[in-house]
């Protein structure tokens, strides 16, 4: 195994036959890793349309429903960097399997929940399991598939399923809630975790860094506390706005802790995050691109959901069909993205994808107050194809050239960027949709600001990566 020759016995790489095609075993490995990522992505959206029914069933008030989302988002975003580094030091496969077990048990608890406390405990444990699965699964993928066409293909499939998971969750959640009840959405996740947990031990290779430095505890405390505070503040602001003392207090505390984290890392002999790595152009600018593409695309989906249902009066099912078309477009983009990257390079693909996402965001400004479903479907689908290209190419940009011993750290940064991006977009811009004279005016305002941010990021990333090889 060419993953870590100092800690594992060398043997032929399962993903690297001479013709650069995936072997049968490599396909199974990829299936297991992608299934886990898809499962976590599904969890982000499958419950959203079920929240009103869930609230009535368990006795959660309207104001408390946000905690069904926030209880998951806090640990899933806050602990990513920590678990990514622990996996580097003590074994990625071992931690990946642990995360699957926690996620499966938590999903079962949420399925059987008898009161709000038991349900929210299940959601929090799901988030903790996701915080383990996402960085370890990604680092297992990047250390199993060698840099080049095979990794491009693997990340293309993974990115497609990640994007598709969010879309499928919205459609599937509505159908399952209407036919089987909200508990079926959590039961589906429990069943998926069991399937992956059964398949994974015999297929996945173990890998870790050859050295065993001490874990950077001060760094872990400050970055985890900072991310938890930041995600709490932004998640709460999405529901109640930025006027609350708790929102501003936790926001300031989160930024202060992240500042302290940078100071701690500059002096630590074994830092949780290598500051020289953060100074790499590919890491810094690649993660900026990832932060923008995730936060702005999630915002577009959010405001279009409001527009289609509240302004045009579409049903939840018909709205789900719009995003179903978007999901199909993402699948198509995922199949072609590795070929595009192979021809033009990750840097050019990343920059072009950002510009494409921004330009089709501008096209969405053509929607009307009485019609626009067709334009919304076409424009958001093409924007999502560009978004998918940005997801894959930014992941390649950040992880290319990083030693196997630091892949968990690099992919931890990638996945932390994803989670923070998914968390901050809606509270930062979504509030504009509900504070204008009309919802329609608010949606157009958000779409305009969203497109401007993506296009500006495209320019910055183009300049920042200008002298860097793809």
Place of tokens 């297991």: 32
Q: What is the model's pLDDT at position 3?
A: 29
Give the residue-averaged pLDDT of 336-356.
Answer: 88
Residues across the chain: 470
- pLDDT at 2 (0 to 100): 28
Cα separation of 72 and 124, whole Å? 5
> Quick check: helix, strand or coil at residue 328?
helix
pLDDT score of 46 more than 60: yes
Once rounded to an integer, what is the mean pLDDT over residues 141-166?
72
Task: Determine the pLDDT at residue 5.
Answer: 28
Residue 112: predicted pLDDT: 92
| CA atoms of 419 and 409, how far apart (whole Å) | 15
pLDDT of residue 6: 31
Give the three-class secondary structure for 459: helix
Mean predicted confidence (pLDDT) in 264-269: 79
Please state the rounded mean pLDDT for residues 459-464: 92
Kindly write down the DSSP assignment for every residue of 171-190, as one continuous string.
Answer: HHHHHHHHHH-THHHHHHHH
pTM: 0.70
453 has pLDDT over 70: yes
Which tens digit of pLDDT belongs to each residue from 319-339? 777 877 877 887 788 777 778
Residue 379 pLDDT level (bands cut at 50, 70, 90): very high
Integer Cα distance of 251 and 240 in angstroms: 14
CB–CB of 216/224 below 8 Å?
Answer: no
CA angle, 305 then 354 then 304, to 5°: 5
* Residue-level pLDDT at 12: 40
- Contacts of 59-62 with C-beta under 8 Å, sequence gap 24+, read 59/115, 59/116, 60/116, 60/119
- Asked if the model's pLDDT at residue 220 lies above 70, the reply is yes
Residue whose C-alpha is closest to residue 143's, from 23, 14, 271: 14
Helix-, strand-, coil-residue percentages of the chain, each rounded to 5: 80, 0, 20
Which burial class, exposed, middle or buried, applies to 328 when counting CB atoms under 10 A from its CB (0-12, 13-18, 19+)? middle
Hey, CA dihedral for 366, 372, 378, 383, is it positive or negative? Answer: positive
Location of structure tokens 């990514």 = 84
Q: What is the distance between the alpha carbons of residues 464 and 194, in angstroms, rounded to a whole number?
A: 43
Band of the pLDDT at 447, cuts 50, 70, 90?
A: very high
Mean pLDDT of the chain: 78
pLDDT value at residue 411: 67
Is the pLDDT at 427 greater than 50, yes or no?
yes
Distance between CA atoms of residues 433 and 444, nearest Å:
8
**Strand, coil or helix: 256:** helix
Residue position matching structure tokens 């349900």: 119
Q: Which has the closest alpha carbon to 383: 300, 458, 315, 463?
A: 300
Residue 395 and residue 454: Cα distance in Å, rounded? 17
CA nearest neighbour of 330 among 396, 388, 383, 376: 388
Averaged pLDDT, 72-76: 79
Integer angstrom CA distances of residue 36 from 140, 152, 158: 12, 19, 10
Tokens for 4, please give them: 């870590």
Each residue of 61-73: pLDDT tens digit? 655 666 777 788 7
pLDDT at res. 292: 92
283-315 pLDDT, tens digit per residue, is 888 889 999 998 898 888 878 877 887 788 877
């Amino acid at each position: 195994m060419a993953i870590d020759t100092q800690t594992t016995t060398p043997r032929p790489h399962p993903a690297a036959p001479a013709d650069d095609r995936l072997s049968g075993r490599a396909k199974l490995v990829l299936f297991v890793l992608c299934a886990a990522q898809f499962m976590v992505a599904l969890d982000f959206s499958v419950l959203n349309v079920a929240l009103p029914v869930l609230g009535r069933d368990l006795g959660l008030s309207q104001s408390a429903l946000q905690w069904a989302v926030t209880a998951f988002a806090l640990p899933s975003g806050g602990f990513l960097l920590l678990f990514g580094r622990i996996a580097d030091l003590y074994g990625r496969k071992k931690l990946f399997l642990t995360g699957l077990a926690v996620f499966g048990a938590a999903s079962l608890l949420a399925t059987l929940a008898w009161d709000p406390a038991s349900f929210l405990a299940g959601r929090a444990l799901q988030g903790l399991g996701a915080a383990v699965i996402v960085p370890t699964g990604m680092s297992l993928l990047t250390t199993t598939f060698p840099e080049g066409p095979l990794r491009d293909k693997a990340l293309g499939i993974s990115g497609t399923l990640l994007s598709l998971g969010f879309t499928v969750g919205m459609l599937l959640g509505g159908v399952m809630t209407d036919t089987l009840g909200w508990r079926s959405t959590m039961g589906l996740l429990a069943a998926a975790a069991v399937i992956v947990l059964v398949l994974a031990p015999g297929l996945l290779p173990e890998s870790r860094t050859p050295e065993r430095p001490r874990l950077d505890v001060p760094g872990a405390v400050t970055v985890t506390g900072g991310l938890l505070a930041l995600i709490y503040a932004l998640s709460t602001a999405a529901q109640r706005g930025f006027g609350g003392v708790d929102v501003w207090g936790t926001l300031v505390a989160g930024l202060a802790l992240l500042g302290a984290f940078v100071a701690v890392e500059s002096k630590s002999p074994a830092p949780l995050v290598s500051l020289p790595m953060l100074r790499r152009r590919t890491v810094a600018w690649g993660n900026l691109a990832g932060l923008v593409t995730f936060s702005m695309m999630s915002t577009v989906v959010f405001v279009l959901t409001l527009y289609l249902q509240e302004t045009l009066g579409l049903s939840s099912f018909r709205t789900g069909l719009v995003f179903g078309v978007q999901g199909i477009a993402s699948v198509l983009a995922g199949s072609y993205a590795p070929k595009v990257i192979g021809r033009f390079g990750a840097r050019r693909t990343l920059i072009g994808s950002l510009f494409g996402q921004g330009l089709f965001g501008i096209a969405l400004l053509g929607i009307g107050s009485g019609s626009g479903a067709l334009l919304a479907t076409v424009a958001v689908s093409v924007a999502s194809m560009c978004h998918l290209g940005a997801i894959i190419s930014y992941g390649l940009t950040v992880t290319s050239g990083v030693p196997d011993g630091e892949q968990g750290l690099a992919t931890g940064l990638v996945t932390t960027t994803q989670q923070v991006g998914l968390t901050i977009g809606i509270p930062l811009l979504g509030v504009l949709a509900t504070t204008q004279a009309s919802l329609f005016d608010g949606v157009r305002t958000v779409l305009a600001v969203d497109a401007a941010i993506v296009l500006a990021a495209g320019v910055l990333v183009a300049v920042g990566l200008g002298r860097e090889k793809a």
